[in-house]
Amino acid sequence: MAMSGGIDSSVAAMLLLEQGYELVGCTFRTFDSMRESCLKKEKGCCSVDSIMEAKHLAEQLHFEHHIVDFRQTFRDSVIRNFVEEYKAGRTPNPCVICNSHIKWGVLLKTAAEYGCSRIATGHYARIASADGHWYLKRAADTQKDQTYFLWMLTEDNLKRTIFPLGDLTKNEVREIARQHGFEQLSQKRESQEICFIPDNDYRRFLTEEGCSPEEGNYLSADGRIVGQHRGYMFYTIGQRKGLGIALGEPAFVTGINAETNEVTLGRHDDLYTHTVYLRNGRFLRDVTRPVMAQIRYRSMPTEAMVQIEKPMTTNSQSSAFSLHFTEPVWAVTPGQSCVIYQDDLLVGAGLIG
């Protein structure tokens, strides 16, 4: 049972115990600088607090719990990808990489070491089996659905996974915590920040990770130099605030060129498009009929048709493809995931190129 110390994974553990499962709790360290002595004293920074909350909950519910150190693997995969994507002028989503490399990568191996045949998490998602495949299925609580972040999971991953919260709403999860006597847990606020950037200042983080952005040119839509920016890595498609430039009308980032260190500015409507190109695409079923595609976590899925640009081969399970939307979508951002659904089943996905 992957445990963060938060309400979702805690309630998931309660539900599984009631269903008769034997649990081994696992809380992993991914990004912190706490000392081992701090862990032993069970007090200190917020990272220690979360770890100890998970440990104490397991003690209260009477099941085994372990704290495991995944920090180096996390740095080598999630953080490295995060930095390299920004260097390439893209805007990454680290949760997607973390889920595939950490939670369903090294955690699955750790589970096997503890004699566990399956892993469970507090994600809001469901699993369905149909036409010979295992699929991710949207959660019952559409406002909390997290399948967008899980698209890199393989069918083998899904066969070994349990999502106890998939059929519940967030309010129902809070009520279950209260019913079990965990009133304080039921009121716990959720973190909205990237776990390794708690102050939400990714520009500071990139600088500390060795990135040295240099000033470059802002360009207008027709290629004219209209000002200077602080470095292309500090911007993302669709950004309006913090540009440090006045053009007499609202300006939005419409393009980023990492090779020339140029950032193109334009109007709001310049960011609409009917076509999106993706890389590292994966499909689980025929997508010749219309699909519903989601280009960012908080966006509404939009109807589209898929066109395969580079088919999968026996040596590669990925393909390049494009999506042609019925209605235009706004601020398509390279580096973000585009996830494809049919009837609430996640049938394909890829990275926006």
The catalytic residue positions are: 98, 195
- Phi, psi torsion values for 83, nearest 5 degrees: -70, -45
Contacts for 343-347: CB closer than 8 Å, 24+ residues apart: 344/137, 344/138, 345/128, 345/130, 345/135, 345/136, 345/137, 346/135, 346/136, 346/137, 346/138, 346/147, 346/150, 346/151, 346/284, 347/135, 347/283, 347/284, 347/285, 347/287, 347/291
- Considering just the CA atoms, what is the radius of gyration of the chain in Å? 22
C-alpha to C-alpha distance for 304 and 340, rounded to whole angstroms: 9
DSSP lists the bridge partners of residue 133 as 130
Q: Side-chain half-sphere of 171: how many Cα atoms within 13 Å?
A: 3
The tokens describing 193, both together, are: 């920040």
CA dihedral 193→172→122→127, nearest 10 degrees, is -120
CA angle 192, 193, 194 (to 5 degrees): 130
